[in-house]
Amino acid sequence: MSSLTAVLPGHLGFFHNERADAALAYGPQRQAILSVNKAKKALETISSWPNYQATDLYSLTAMAEEANIDKIYYKDESTRFGLKSFKALGGAYAVTRFLQQHLGSLYGEEPTMAQLLSGQYKDQLKDVVVSCATDGNHGRSVAWGSQMFGCQCIIYIHRDVSAGRQQAMEAYAAKVIRITGNYDESVRQAAADAAQYGRVIISDTSYEGYTEVPANVALGYTVMLAELVEQLEGEIPTHVFIQAGVGGLAAAVCGYFWDLWAEQRPRFIVVEPEAANCLQESAKAGELKVVEGDLETVMAGLACGEVSHIAWHVLDQGADDFITVSENSVAPCMQALEQHTPSIEAGESAVAGLAACLIAGQHPQWRDDLGLNKQSRVLVLGTEGATDPELYQQLVFGA
């Protein structure tokens, strides 16, 4: 790969969060939701699942040179449990915790992971129905977890979710219902139907009165972060560029590193599509804001207009900067990663953080605004592979 930054469209929408400047401590209220200590249970659980293995961490040397920084670390989630996304960790873990708690309420003691995996509770779980709304990857994880443990699954998708993503969920025996509205409307429909039919919502977004399950989803994501810390072998990044939809992953990453590294934590930059920047708009306002409209973006997994409440509880003071990237920065990054040695498969929602880093690295003002220099060590998370194979072929190969 060469001259990537020369073809990357040079557009960023930038907002610095002054509330983060004074927020040095990761306090008890945040630790109650997400902490390194609470994350240990998720690692113990998920590492016991069949076919678990840590995903690769790459150093993108050529890209770092072009961005005139020291290092770019890229955590590649394209191989996670065969689901091609970090979300395999979150939804399935939340399903696990709900089923353990459900069986515990019936029998007075929660089953172990080994007991749950053995199938001995198959009859007790066959009529339990879990449900969620999704852009694709979260629903696929919930469906996979449901199939793994033997409960039923109903998934809601919005009008713009591709047929390929729908089929990927149906492959895990989920019933998929498509609505005519956008993502946030699918969330509301799933919740309304769950209340009517006695289903259990396993959502990655939280709202008033609904926080425990999304917190478990976020804790599932921290398995990826525990792997990262080990793979970095004591090195602490100076910057993290992390793409965001409702903010669940961004909050998990921010909170985990904040709790772990305290005042040494990296500068934390949240990246969103221009048309779906609910976190940036909330940061500007200093309170939760909804982005209305179609939320149209090629980065389908980031097409969210409403911030998760528990995510905002962390990011309101934990995120240093909020950036938007233009749509035409996506394909060049996907193509460059495919040409990397070894080849890295990155879906359209995986590269927003990388694109923001590379674009900022080429502009003196943005370098200064973000504190980027020749000593900077940047971490980005490649959150998915080709979860929509047809779109991947189109964007990477023009097929």
Domain spans of the chain, in order of start: 4-85+214-397, 87-212
Q: Could you report how far apart the first and last alpha carbons of the chain are, in Å? A: 20
Judged against a pLDDT cut of 80, whether residue 5 lies above it is answered with no
Residue 87: other Cβ atoms inside 10 A: 31
Confidence of residue 207 (pLDDT cuts 50, 70, 90): confident
**CB neighbour burial string for 288-314, b if at least 16 within 10 angstroms, e if fewer:** ebebeeebebbbbbbbbbbbbbbbbbb
Instruction: Please name the fold of domain 87-212.
Output: Rossmann fold (3.40.50)
pTM of the entire predicted model: 0.94
Q: Encoding tokens for residue 56? A: 């690769």
Instruction: Please name the fold of domain 4-85+214-397.
Output: Rossmann fold (3.40.50)
CA gap 101, 151 in Å, rounded = 14
Strands 200-201 and 129-134 come out as parallel
The catalytic residue positions are 87, 135
Per-residue pLDDT tens digits for 35-48: 999 999 999 999 99
Residue 327: its H or E element: none
Q: Do domains 4-85+214-397 and 87-212 have the same CATH topology?
A: yes
Confidence of residue 6 (pLDDT cuts 50, 70, 90): low
Judged against a pLDDT cut of 90, whether residue 178 lies above it is answered with yes
Q: What's the confidence (pLDDT) of residue 1?
A: 40
State the virtual CA torsion across 256, 259, 263, 267 in degrees, nearest 10. Answer: 20
Strands 57-59 and 267-273 come out as unpaired
